[in-house]
Amino acid sequence: TIRGVRFADSDLLACRFGDVEARAQYLDATRISCAVPAGAGSTIALAINGRDFFGELAFHVLEDASVTKVSPVQAPVGGDVDVRVYGQGFAFSSNAACRFGSSIVPARVHNGTVLTCVAPSNEVGKTSLSISLNGADFVEASPFNYYAAPLIREARNTRGPLGGGSSVQLA
């Protein structure tokens, strides 16, 4: 998505990635979307009239990310659990994100094979976890389950010998 001001809807909107042109789609007066073509170059420019391109901005082609493991794959309904996603092709990005069902949260890329995010709150049940390195294109990572956390109301025998061996009763 290209962001700016005073964009107008036109059938002539176009994007250019390096030397490769692509059709653009008007979203609103501040946003235009471009489908990235194969062989996209290192810059992106926009044309309102289909021929006069402006705004040469840097464009980075990311390696396709793949996920091999997610841990943990569940969290209590209150969320707030650190989730580690393992895989390949994770590029450092300030736009990295995790999507739990329809909730999107920021992610932190640690290196090319690990990223983390914090599971948000959700209702009890199964959902899906997806990741994105650019905040827009998501890759399915894993099913994810939310459960109702148990509630401890009372603890008995909360003292014991230094050597261990005693039992604590929770109710």
pLDDT tens for each residue of 137-152: 899 999 999 999 887 8
Our CA dihedral for 152, 153, 154, 160, rounded to 10 degrees, sits at: 20
Residue 105's contacts (CB-CB under 8 Å, 6 or more residues apart) are 97, 98, 99, 117, 118, 119, 120
Average pLDDT of the chain is 90
pTM passes above 0.95:
no
Read off the pLDDT of each residue in 1-7 and give the average, rounded to a whole number.
Answer: 84
Strands (E), the chain: 2-3, 14-17, 20-28, 31-34, 43-47, 53-58, 66-71, 74-76, 81-88, 97-100, 103-111, 114-119, 125-132, 138-147, 155-156, 169-170
Q: What is the pLDDT of residues 5-50, one digit of tens each?
A: 888 899 999 999 888 888 899 999 998 998 888 877 788 999 989 8
Q: Measuring CA to CA, which residue among 139, 146, 11 is closest to residue 78?
A: 146
Residue 75 pLDDT exceeds 90: yes
> Are 20 and 37 contacting, i.e. CB atoms less than 8 angstroms apart?
yes
How far is it between the farthest Cα atoms of the chain? Answer: 82
